[in-house]
Chain A
Amino acid sequence: MSATAAAPRLQGIRHRRFTVLLTLLAAVAVAVVLSITIGSKSVPLADAWAALTTPTGSENDIIIRSLRVPRTVLGVLAGVALGVAGALMQGHTRNPLADPGLLGVTQGAAFAMVASIILLGASSLLVYIWFGLAGALVASVAVFALGMVGGRGGPTPVTLALAGTAVSAMLYALTSAIVLLDEQAMDVFRFWQAGSIAARGADVVRQVLPFILVGLVLAILNAPGLNALSLGEDVARSLGQNIAMTRTIGVAAVTLLSGAAVAACGSLSFVGLIVPHLARPLSGTDHRWLLPYSGLIGAALLLLADVIGRVVAPPGELEVGVVLALIGAPFFVALVRRRKPVRL
């Protein structure tokens, strides 16, 4: 065996990973184009381009600029956020069935929204989303703090999952009690729970964008540490990794990403569950590649599901959350049956 037998193989692996990355970027670009042009009123690509570059105030221009573009941008943001959060969550808990909702963000957001309606009389989407965000963050911090109890050096995957389940169950009970008492809260909750990226303007995008950006930065910083941690705590420590800090950054990233996405779009945590399973066969177990792949696949998946929801039941629309569940659930079952679920 020659002294450099391994070198060309390593280069081959790296080139393949860049090729996949570019392919996924292209897939997201295609999904963006479809999302901007297809809908209850189809807009030809040339007109859509004109609406973006040289708007004249026509009907198409208004549809594209004030409806389709914010909807598409929100779809990309939420898809990236939920895909990355799901991959982080499964990596940290070593549980292939974990989703970002496990930290209590979904129930936290739901409870804060309905509570703001009956306690403070909140009545606008932006206000609901602010409360949803705050609720998601508070619930996640509570889960993290409870998960620390009894564990040394930060929460363990098991204590986190237990605390998350308990907090979620309690918040769900409170939410149910509120929506049974208050009709307005019930309406908002029903609409939010279905999961949608429609009818949210550029202001919603601006509202959640900073949280998602910070979350993505933390996720990128977390990838190498998570790689080390996936080899077990002893190996991670011997590789010089601070375990408590890695866990804390990971939980913070999941909280910001999924909290922002869930507050703005409702309960879409299914994306976080299935997307890492689609990304892993392409990326392998290296989180430095798994996280970006998951983000891109999440964005493409969410946009395509949204586009399908727009055309499948004219003249109405199906919420993206409903489409995702209808298509995604059987697909996920098939995926899990075809290859045995991965042990993490």
Chain B
Amino acid sequence: MSPEVRLQATDVKLGYGDRIVVDGLDLGVEAGTVTTIIGPNGCGKSTLLRALGRLLKPQGGEVLLDGKRIDKIPTREVAKILGVLPQAPTAPEGLTVADLVARGRHPHQTWYRQWSSDDEGAVAAALDMTGLADLAERPLDELSGGQRQRAWISMALAQGTDLLLLDEPTTFLDLAHQVEVLELVRHLHQEAGRTVVMVLHDLNLAARYADRLVAMRSGKVIAVGSPHEVLTEELLGEVFELDAKVIEDPVAGTPLVVPIRPRSH
């Protein structure tokens, strides 16, 4: 029996106005996996993620969420199934961690019932799971980059979706904070069985924290598979135009990329 596909992009054409970034792309995201999209700058990774999260309407093809066209499902219903965290999100100054996380409850609230014990429970659980309970009343702008990113993920958790799309959740973070955020993602996946799709730049961390890697170049998927299958010296040459040596990560046993030099054009 083939695994259940939660998100399916079929022959999608994506772009902004006349500028087409992705054309004729197919991708399926299986339930309970961590799928990580890698590729050089401008290859359409974020564009694809935005389309999977219905933030960008495809100009051709279709995106299916649990077998139904995502643009035919009311956006509020989608928000109860699927959470999207865009790249480098911005918050108004003075927004506290508790207030940010509480906004994740938005799709569950109606105009006459703005706060329920369900909401309070979900927010408390999200704060506890991300280790932010002690920082609940602190403004977001006073936190470290890693704490701030955890707060945003905590908001997506409070949303209560079992599908999470994260666009470069480790951007602007130092290595320790990158690992901190990715450990949290792994925890969400392993403890709660969430399905995660994320875009990452660091290939070694991508290899360590993903079940499946999707390598993209110029709006096309070049390779899909386990980190061992995808991260080969050959593929790095083809996708990143990079000469590199791939060895075994002494800690995790996953592929470790040691760059040599960019390929000359």
Q: Least Cβ distance of A291 to chain B in Å?
A: 12
One of B121-129, B176-184, B237-245, B250-258 at the interface: B121-129
Beyond A234-B55, A235-B86, A342-B93, whether A9 also contacts B98 by CB under 8 A is yes
Interface set, chain B 113-137, CB cutoff 8 A to A: 114-115, 120-121, 123-125, 127-128, 131-134, 136-137
B83 near A: Cβ within 8 Å? Answer: yes
One of A29-37, A119-127, A238-246 at the interface: A238-246
Chain A residues within 8 Å of chain B by Cβ, number: 36
A53 near B: Cβ within 8 Å? Answer: no
B89 near A: Cβ within 8 Å? Answer: yes
Beyond A9-B136, A284-B94, A284-B96, whether A239 also contacts B120 by CB under 8 A is no
B31 near A: Cβ within 8 Å? Answer: no
Interface set, chain B 27-77, CB cutoff 8 A to A: 50, 53-55, 74-77
Shortest Cβ distance from A152 into B: residue: B17
B53 and A238 contacting across the interface, CB-CB below 8 Å: yes
Q: Least Cβ distance of A211 to chain B in Å?
A: 21
A234 and B86 contacting across the interface, CB-CB below 8 Å: yes
Beyond A1-B131, A5-B128, A284-B99, whether A239 also contacts B104 by CB under 8 A is yes
In angstroms, Cα B96 to Cα A279, docked, is 16
Shortest Cβ distance from B110 into A: residue: A224
Residues of A within 8 A of B123 (CB): 6, 10
B90 near A: Cβ within 8 Å? Answer: yes
B107 near A: Cβ within 8 Å? Answer: yes
B92 near A: Cβ within 8 Å? Answer: yes
> Which of the residues B90, B107, B133 comes within 8 Å of A5, measured between beta carbons?
B133
Chain B residues within 8 Å of chain A by Cβ, number: 50
B137 and A231 contacting across the interface, CB-CB below 8 Å: no
A288 near B: Cβ within 8 Å? Answer: yes
Residues of A within 8 A of B79 (CB): 238-240
Beyond A9-B98, A284-B99, whether A3 also contacts B92 by CB under 8 A is no
Shortest Cβ distance from A3 into B: residue: B128
A286 near B: Cβ within 8 Å? Answer: yes
In angstroms, Cα B95 to Cα A228, docked, is 12
Q: Least Cβ distance of B74 to chain A in Å?
A: 8
Beyond A6-B133, A240-B75, whether A284 also contacts B95 by CB under 8 A is yes
Beyond A234-B84, A284-B94, whether A10 also contacts B128 by CB under 8 A is no
* Interface 1/0 per residue, B122-158 and A, CB below 8 Å: 0111011001111011000000000000000000000
Residues of A within 8 A of B114 (CB): 224, 288
- What are 29 A-B interface contacts by the 8 Å CB criterion? A5-B124, A5-B127, A6-B125, A6-B127, A6-B132, A6-B133, A9-B137, A13-B136, A220-B111, A228-B106, A230-B95, A231-B90, A234-B89, A237-B54, A237-B75, A238-B53, A238-B82, A238-B83, A238-B84, A238-B85, A240-B76, A240-B79, A240-B107, A242-B75, A284-B99, A285-B92, A286-B99, A343-B93, A344-B92
A240-B74, A284-B95, A342-B92 given; name 16 further pairs at CB < 8 Å.
A4-B128, A6-B125, A6-B132, A13-B137, A220-B111, A227-B103, A231-B91, A231-B103, A234-B55, A235-B84, A235-B86, A238-B86, A239-B106, A240-B77, A240-B107, A285-B95
